[in-house]
Amino acid sequence: MTKQDLLLYFIMGSNNTSNDTVDVLQEAISGGITCFQFREKGLGALSGNDKHTLAKKLQDVCVSHDVPFIVNDDVELALAVKADGIHVGQDDIPLSDLKRRCPDNMTIGISAKTMAEAKEAQENGADYLGVGPMFSTTTKEDAELPIGPQSLQHMREAGITIPIVGIGGIDESNAKEVMDAGADGVSVISAISKAMDISQAATAVKRRLTFC
């Protein structure tokens, strides 16, 4: 994966849309997403074989369009399907364990909210950071108060040089603000997955990123 792959980073699980998950991903790719993370968490989330089966279907779509496929949190699943990357939170598996278990070519992303978390992740070899929430969001049931785009600027000023993806409440109206603050890309969930026109929604967000 390259830094450019992180530009429009779409995250989705089966409970983030009322439509067919595979169809939504295909439409999002046609709209211009550059990366996809399979995040199967929350109320009604799939598990076991059902989760694995959906992961493979979504991965197949990504592979056919040369879009990186990332798994959220589930190391066993990421290894089983040979995902392009894995993303974990601060309360998930330690980065040192991840680097020991995952192949060198598997991208590792870490969620960070504070300066200390960002510095620790960078020092320990994370490939990129997911920083947020940028704005208020209803997607995550345990979402914390937003830290705002200015937090990205502070991280850059403090010497965080690895790629940063802003996440949380990002849509067409505020994506440029996140990029201007120092992000290399934005993560989007509901602004795409719950849109009436998936492809058009993805294109609208990407247009804001392309002309930053």
pLDDT in tens, 59-117: 999 999 999 999 999 999 999 999 999 999 999 888 999 999 999 999 999 999 999 99
Q: Does the pLDDT at position 27 exceed 80?
A: yes
- Give the annotated binding-site residues: 37-41, 72-73, 92, 111, 137-140, 169, 189-190
The domain spans of the chain are: 3-210
Say what the pTM is: 0.95
Q: Is 82 a catalytic residue?
A: no
pLDDT in tens, 103-122: 999 999 999 999 999 999 99
Q: For the domain bounded by 3-210, which CATH number is listed?
A: 3.20.20.70
Which of 113, 139, 114 lies closest to 192, judged by CA? 139
Pairwise CA distance, residues 162 & 203, whole Å: 26
- Supply the DSSP symbol for 121: H
Q: Is 113 a catalytic residue?
A: no
Q: Is 156 a catalytic residue?
A: no
Pairwise CA distance, residues 204 & 145, whole Å: 26
Question: Annotated catalytic residue: which of 3, 57, 119, 140?
Answer: 140
Residue 120 burial by Cβ neighbours in a 10 Å radius (0-12, 13-18, 19+): middle
Cα dihedral sign for 122, 168, 76, 56? negative
Tell me the pLDDT band of 41, cut-offs 50, 70 and 90. very high
Question: Annotated catalytic residue: which of 39, 176, 206, 208?
Answer: 39
- Give the annotated binding-site residues for Mg(2+): 73, 92
Q: How many CB atoms lie within 10 A of CB 46?
A: 17
- Residue 210: per-residue pLDDT: 80
- Residue 144: per-residue pLDDT: 80
Give the torsion through C-alpha atoms of 161, 98, 144, 205, to 10 deg.
Answer: 60
